[in-house]
Structure 1
């Protein structure tokens, strides 16, 4: 389809040229999306195959690890946000990517929030991370991360970001176009998944096999809001503050609220 419109773009009538050019560009973007999806799923399948024929002593490969490998980065995470900025879902490639997400949830600043806040993309490394995020940057460095790139999931129906991390310094922004193509493919996967759900209502698809819906955090926020007589934003801020003061993850404080009757006020 793209080739057809590209050929017709030089043909008469002249008034049709802008339309044909737009259609050619649209179909080339769709082509790029499909190719990115195919590469990611093939890479994930190969990783699963190698794991399956080995002794399976290691953890089962997750889809986001294929995303990181495809982009030549060490690890990657996708985070979805609600319309009011609350986190709905995170899918991470490994412990470092998940720790980077947990830090962002705890501190309230970082690349995913910058992207969802309106930036087209974020690329930072070395000292720039500390300058950009005074609290998150140093904590990210302690995880061994020296460079980070974040791009939005391009959809009017989604608020989300793809963040990729590496221990290599001197990151060049040439990775951004490739990351944007992958983010487009992931956004399309998320939108398609919303039309095919499991019996429990959860989206189906390879990406969601390893996703964390942060249910413990959301339930704890509701419980804290009732206990303290405050709104949900304040309840989340209380969870964050207690986690930060105690050097714990927000999810751990949330678990204690739900399971151990831990009181924040």
Structure 2
């Protein structure tokens, strides 16, 4: 459990981030307003440029306002927890993302340039279980985003129709609706997936999720404030992330044991986990710590 000093520092940091994002949004708005005021001025050749600049800075304004709202929600949740009942789990940043979108759970999965999973940050046990199911089965909303889908929405019977194995398993977790959108910067960084127990998706959830994903990819993920002892970046999103190190190490070990490539080794891990009805991370632990052989 974190000390009172750590608690005060964490809350203060979130309020500082909130204020900083509000200031960045105000600066972007001022630049946008300047270009909007000049939009019809001569020379006419400059008008398209001014319009593009106005639109760009309005997008930047929206990005920073979204970040500000996330930091504010997170700071308030932390304050309530620190002064309230600490028997409950400490709030995490992704829970603020879920609350902001009016959903029950949320998870961010980051991918490497070759599609391998690098990190998962989840709001709660449901979001983490939904991620683990994707890792185990090899199908689901984040995989669809990685495959090139701009956004994914499914609810009710569509879950099983879209994902024959993942959908029914997700329903067993109590999830009735899911939305996934890409995290885009200079490339596809990963996917934001949000889940709810309510059937029927609100029409505004996808554009709202896209705005949050843009804020996460282009601001929150970049806002690291140092590194931990193990070299992992620290920041609001990184504090509760799982870097899946054990899984990646186990994949490498299985590849050596079975004389196969990494994709085949990962498939072997998933298949064994599926057959035994346990998480991929548990199979990885057995490979690394117990000398478990898959071939």
Tell me the TM-score normalised to structure 1 length: 0.96
Per-residue CA deviation, residues 84-106 of structure 1 (Å, 9 max, x unaligned), is: 21110000000000000000011
Deviation of the 1:172 alpha carbon: 2.6
Tell me the TM-score normalised to structure 2 length: 0.87
Deviation of the 1:253 alpha carbon: 0.6
Structure 2 SS opposite 1:236 = helix
Query: What residue is the counterpart of 1:155 in the other structure?
Result: 185
Alignment coverage as a number of residue pairs: 265
Per-residue CA deviation, residues 221-264 of structure 1 (Å, 9 max, x unaligned), is: 11111111111111100000000111111011111111111110
State whether residues 94 and 123 of structure 2, in contact with CA within 8 Å, keep that contact through their aligned partners in structure 1.
yes
Deviation of the 1:67 alpha carbon: 0.3
Structure 2 SS opposite 1:207 = coil
Deviation of the 1:178 alpha carbon: 0.8
State whether residues 120 and 244 of structure 2, in contact with CA within 8 Å, keep that contact through their aligned partners in structure 1.
yes
State whether residues 220 and 236 of structure 2, in contact with CA within 8 Å, keep that contact through their aligned partners in structure 1.
no
2:171 and 2:85 mapped to 1: Cα distance?
34
Per-residue CA deviation, residues 41-63 of structure 1 (Å, 9 max, x unaligned), is: 01000000000001311111000
1:75 aligns with 2:105: yes
Query: What residue is the counterpart of 1:235 in the other structure?
Result: 265
Per-residue CA deviation, residues 17-65 of structure 1 (Å, 9 max, x unaligned), is: 1111110111011101110111000100000000000131111100000
Aligned Cα root-mean-square deviation (Å): 1.4
Query: What residue is the counterpart of 1:13 in the other structure?
Result: 43
Q: Give ranges in structure 2 of 5+ residues lacking alignment.
A: 1-30
State whether residues 189 and 217 of structure 2, in contact with CA within 8 Å, keep that contact through their aligned partners in structure 1.
no
Deviation of the 1:195 alpha carbon: 8.6
1:62 and 1:190 mapped to 2: Cα distance?
14
Structure 2 SS opposite 1:60 = coil
2:260 and 2:118 mapped to 1: Cα distance?
21
Aligned counterparts, 1:94-243, within 5 A: 94-189=124-219, 191-193=221-223, 196-198=226-228, 200-243=230-273
State whether residues 76 and 163 of structure 1, in contact with CA within 8 Å, keep that contact through their aligned partners in structure 2.
yes
Structure 1 SS opposite 2:65 = helix
Deviation of the 1:15 alpha carbon: 1.0
Q: Give ranges in structure 1 of 5+ residues lacking alignment.
A: none
Query: What residue is the counterpart of 1:30 in the other structure?
Result: 60
2:246 and 2:138 mapped to 1: Cα distance?
18
Select between 227-236 and 193-202 the one with higher mean Cα deviation. 193-202
